[in-house]
Structure 1
Amino acid sequence: MANTGFTIWFTGLSGAGKSTLSDALEKRLRQHGRNVEILDGDIVRTHLSKGLGFSREDRDTNIKRIAFVCGLLTRNGVVCISAAISPYREAREWARQEIGNFVEIYVKCPIEVCRDRDVKGLYKLVDEGKIKNFTGVDDPYEEPEHPELIIETNTETIEESMQRILHKLVELEYLDASYLETPISTL
């Protein structure tokens, strides 16, 4: 179990809390000596998927690239955390099949709350007509049908969400119970 690689696949709308949860989970896992890599959607688009647009085909290509890297890392004992909107079920299912050790976590949050949290100003740009095909507004987000876990960031604290994630990973036998012993408040 200690060297088993796996991928946590956070999916949800922009502003739902995927990056925040990824950072907190990374910190907890590193406290236990795990090798962890985060593939954040914004960073991936800047480097690995530069030049891709936001058509369905380009979004699927982006997800396939993230899944490819997650698969490589997972096979080599790394805990990989993907924090990308990944709006389409079919692409997420493709990633699950390619990676194998895959835990889908739906970071669920009402769009109104995501808009209020919008630190990047993206929803405002959508409202001004400066961004088109924005997931959840004028492009669909297909909610996961059978994620391993649903985290509702509008009703849970980060600490509560982290506890639920860690319990799920212990239940799935990706982590041992010692991960539950470190106080969450140290995050």
Structure 2
Amino acid sequence: MAWAVWFTGLPGCGKTTIARRTKEHLSRMGVEARILELDEIRRVVTPNPRYTDEERDIVYASLAYMAKLLCDAGVNVIIDATANRRRYRDLARKLVERFAEVYIKAPLELCIEREASRKAEFAPKEIYRKAASGARVPGVGVEYEEPMSPEMVVDTTTMDPDSAAEFVSRRILEIFAR
């Protein structure tokens, strides 16, 4: 039976890097998964995003439902998305029978520094700089609600991306072996 694992955290915390390395690590272990990267999906669901609460509700509900459909079809899913409200992640937990949450933790200052130099393919550029002009950025212009009891916590101030991916991969196999 397939599972879904949601990587959440502030923009720039390392979600995409760790999610991709986790996928690679799992693949070397013979476990395949599909990454659903919100920044890529948002371009289809809302091609001209305004990042309003209503728009976020639609985008995150669509993402959770995509994960459910893939899991129902037997595809393991790694969700790479900030999901600043717990209710977005809770919806996925409700829809997907085998679900876990990974909180990628980093202080805002480090996220700002990383985001300024990242080369992400789909993520919007310079979001924290835009926040100074009133852009609605989780952790700055919009609240980020940390997970209450995630199955995994990765502190990127003490763990590098490869170690984090190895840790998360092992935990995924432990959690879903039951």
Return the TM-score normalized by structure 2. 0.88
Task: Note the alpha carbon deviations across 1:93-131, whole angstroms, 9 max, x for none.
Answer: 11100112111011111110001101232212222x1x5
Equivalent of 1:134 in 114, 137, 152: 137
Kindly, what percent of the aligned residue pairs are identical? 29
The 2-side partners of 1:94 and 1:52 are apart by: 22
Structure 2 residue 76 is matched with structure 1 residue 79: yes
1:125 aligns with 2:125: no
1:102 aligns to 2:99 (yes or no): yes
Look up the match of 2:176: 173
Structure with greater Cα Rg: 1
Contact 1:52 1:62 in 2 (8 A): no
Contact kept? 1:5, 1:78, Cα under 8 Å: yes
For 1:174 and 1:14, locate their aligned partners in 2 and report how far apart those are by CA, in whole Å: 31
Alpha-carbon distance in structure 1 between the residues aligned to 2:61 and 2:48: 15
Instruction: Supply the AA of the counterpart residue of 1:123.
Output: Y
Counterpart CA distance in 2 for 1:65 and 1:49 is 11
Aligned partner of 2:18: which letter?
L
Q: What is the CA distance between 1:52 and its match in structure 2? A: 4.6
Structure 1 counterpart SS, 2:154: strand
Match of 1:93 in 2: 90
- 1:53–1:59 Cα contact (<8 Å) kept: no
- Can you list the C-alpha shifts for 1:63-97, whole angstroms capped at 9, x where unaligned? 11011111111112211111111010112111100
- Consecutive unaligned residues of structure 2, counting only runs of 5 or more, are 119-124
Q: Does 1:43 align with 2:40?
A: yes
* CA pair 34-163 structure 1, distance change in 2 beyond 3 A: closer
* Distance in 1 between residues matched to 2:26 and 2:177, nearest whole Å: 11
